[in-house]
Structure 1
C-alpha cells in the first residue's frame, strides 16, 4: 500500500515577522487574517483529523504563513504544545513550520525539538545579496548558510524555498541560487515564481515602473533549467508556484506576474521537448517515444504542443506512448 502524506494547515499570517518584504502579503496568500490561539490549533487539528481517510498515512500539523520562530517564545510554546498533544496521543506524526533564516538559534531549535517539530522550511528566496536587498528581506545569504548549518545539527527534515523573478533577479542569478541551495543539501525545495499582489510594496514598484515582472515564458525557461538540477541531486521539489485560489488568480489579489495554473507542467513539457529533440538530433529515424505512463501529458506538452513543434522543426510525425516499465523522466525511442 502506498503511504499517503497529509498536512493540516494552520496559518499564522505575518505573525512573528516585523519585515515587509516587497513581495509579501500573507493575508492575501493564505486567505487568513485571524489571530491563532492554542484552542484554535486544537480545533483545526481535530476537525481535519476527522476528514482524513484511514490507512497507511503520515499526518503533520503545518504552521505556515508567517515566521513562526519570530513569534514570542511564550506563544510559540502555547501553539506547539497544543499540536504536540496530538503527537503524544499518536494521532499526529509530527509538526512542520516555516520561518526566516535569521530567526534560527540554538535556543529556538531546542524548543522546536522539545515539542515534536519534525520539519523546518526556510524562506531563502534568493542567495544573491543584491536581490535580497532589493526585495527588502532584511538579511544576507550568510543568514541562510548559518541557519542551515545549525538546523543540520538536529534531526529535522529541512526544506528551502526559493523565488524566481524578484527585484534585481535574472536568469543567471536564479540558476546560481539553485546551485547554492543544492550545495546546502536540503531534503526538499519549493519554487515560487514572483507574483505582484495587491497591497504590497512590489505593487508600488510595479506601478511606478521600478519593477518589471517576469513573463510566463521567462519563468518557464528558468524552471526547465533548475528542475533537472534538483532532481539530479535527489532533492524533491514538493511544489512549484503558489496554490491557485480566489485571491491568487486574475480578479483577486493578483496584479501582475507569471501566473499560470499549471506553470510547473509547462516547464515539464519543455524539459521533455528538449529531450525528444536531442534524441532526434542523434537518431533521425526515431518516430515513437515511450515515457512513464504517468508522464504522458508532460511529454505531449500543453495542448499537445510538443507534437506540433516537432512537426514544424523536423518536418516529421512522432507518437508518444505510455510505458509501465520506464521511470519518470526516462524516454525510449524507436522507428515505427
Structure 2
C-alpha cells in the first residue's frame, strides 16, 4: 500500500447544532465557503497527479459535523468522493462528526460510499466539562457511537481536547483512559486555543478561564502520547494545523507550529532521564532521523539535562531503532 495521505476537504461548521465554547471554525480552517462535489473531484484529481501510489490516500471530510449536515448535500459530497476513490484507487473516505450524529442508518450510507473510517469529536469524557463547554452530547453518546462504528467494521478515530474550561489534568488523563476502553485505531489530541468571538474568549477576558501554558500542555500531551502509543493506538495529530490566520487571530493558549515535535522531544527526555544513573557524562546513541527529537527545539533537552547535572553527547547510529535510543553509556566506564 502507498504512503498514507489525507486529501482534506473542510466542511466548516455545517451541521453543528450549537456553538461550542471554543469554536470559531473559520479561524481554524481558514476557509469560509462550503465545498461542493466539483471541489471534491478537483482536490482528488490534484492529489492523484502528485502521488506515485494512491492506494494509501484517503479523501477526508473534516471541519464540521459531517453526518449532521443536510442529507442531500452530504450525499452529493459522498457520491463525488466515491467516484474519485474508484477512479484513482484511493484507500477510501474518512470523515469526522459528532458522537450524537451517528446511527445505523447513517453508517449504512457511509459504508455504501466507500467510507472506511469515522472520527468522533468527543473532546472530553467528563459530562460536566462537556456541559459547560456547550458540546450538546454526553460521554455515553460517544460510547454508543464508538460501538456502532466498530461493529460496522469501520476504523474508529477519537478526538480529544486538553485544557478545556473547567477541565483539569486528571480529567484529561481520565478522558484518555476512557478512550482506550473504546478501542480506537487512531486519536487526535488538540490543546485548547482561545479564539476571538468565542464564549471561551469572553471567559478568558473576564478572568474566569486560564488556558494551559505551552509547557503544561507539552508535559501533559507527552504523557498522553506515551499512553496511547503504549496501547497500540496511532496518534495521528497533536496540536492544531498551523496557519497564518490562526497564528494572527489566536488570543491565548498553548499554540506552537511544531507542537508535536515539542511533545515528542519531551517524551524522549522523560524516557532518557529514567535511564540515567547519578549525574555525570553520558553517551546516548540515537537513529539519525531522531536527532532533532533527541535534542529538542533550540537544543532544549541538553540544556535541561545540564541543569540536572548530566552532560549528554548524542551519537547518531543507523542501527538504533527509530523512536528510541540505545542503552546509555556513562563516559569513563568500560
The reply to whether TM is greater than 0.5 is: yes
- Gaps in structure 2 of 5+ consecutive residues: none
What is aligned with 1:106?
Answer: 104
Moved more, 325-334 or 175-184: 325-334
Match of 2:262 among 257, 261, 266: 266
Cα distance, 1:325 vs structure 2: 2.4
Rounded to whole Å, the distance in 2 between the matches of 1:265 and 1:37 is 35
- The runs of at least 4 aligned residues of structure 1 exceeding 6 Å deviation read none
Do 1:285 and 1:334's aligned partners in 2 also have CA atoms closer than 8 Å?
Answer: no
1:324 lines up with 2:318 in the alignment: yes
CA spacing shift, 1:234–1:319, aligned 2, 3 Å: same
* TM-score where L is the length of structure 1: 0.93
Say which SS state the counterpart of residue 260 (structure 1) adopts: coil
Is 2:157–2:185's contact at 8 Å kept on the other side of the alignment? yes
Change (3 A) 1:89 1:262: closer
CA–CA distance in structure 1, aligned partners of residues 55 and 289 of structure 2: 22
Worse-matched range after superposition: 269-278 or 64-73:
269-278
Q: SS state of the match for residue 137, structure 2?
A: coil
User: Quick check: 214-223 or 301-310, which moved more?
Assistant: 301-310
**2-side partners of 1:143 and 1:129: how far apart?**
10
- Please give the alpha-carbon distance, in whole angstroms, between the structure 2 residues aligned to 1:35 and 1:267: 33
The answer to whether the Cα contact below 8 Å between 2:13 and 2:25 also exists between their aligned partners in 1 is yes
> How far off its partner does 1:191 sit?
0.5
1:137-286 to structure 2, matched below 5 A, reads 137-249=135-247, 252-281=248-277
Q: Provide, for residues 303-330 of structure 1, a one-character-per-residue CA deviation record: whole Å limited to 9, x for no partner.
A: 112222222212x422111222222134
Give the deviation of 1:242 after TM superposition: 0.6
> Deviations along 1:207-234, whole A, 9 cap, x unmatched?
1222111110111121121111111111
Q: Deviation per CA, 1:159-179, whole angstroms, max 9, x where unpaired?
A: 111101000111111111111
1:41 maps to which residue? 40
Segment drifting more, 10-19 vs 40-49: 40-49
Q: How far, CA to CA, are the matches of 2:224 and 2:57 in structure 1?
A: 29
8 Å Cα contact 1:291-1:332 kept in structure 2: no
Equivalent of residue 287 in structure 1, options 277, 282, 285: 282
Change (3 A) 1:203 1:112: same
1:171-206 CA-partner distances (Å, limit 9, x unpaired):
111111111111111111111000011222211111
Distance 2:27 2:63 in 1: 10
Q: How far apart in 2 are the matches of 1:155 and 1:197? A: 37
2:293 matches 1:298: yes
Mapped to 1, the partners of 2:293 and 2:307 lie a distance apart of 19
Pair 286,275 (structure 1): closer, same or farther in 2 beyond 3 Å: farther
- Which stretch of structure 1 is more off in the superposition, 253-262 or 88-97? 88-97
SS in 2 for 1:237: strand
**Secondary structure at 1:34 match in 2:** coil
2:13 aligned with 1:14: yes
Q: 1:89 to 1:306 in 2, by over 3 A?
A: closer
Q: CA deviation at 1:56?
A: 6.7
Give 1:37 shift: 2.2
Measured after TM superposition, the shift of residue 284 of structure 1 is 5.8
* TM-score (norm: length of structure 2): 0.93
- Separation (CA, whole Å) in 2 of partners of 1:244 and 1:102: 29
The question of whether the paired residues in 2 share the 8 Å contact of 1:41 and 1:82 is answered with yes
Uncovered stretches (5+) of structure 1, i.e. residues with no partner: none
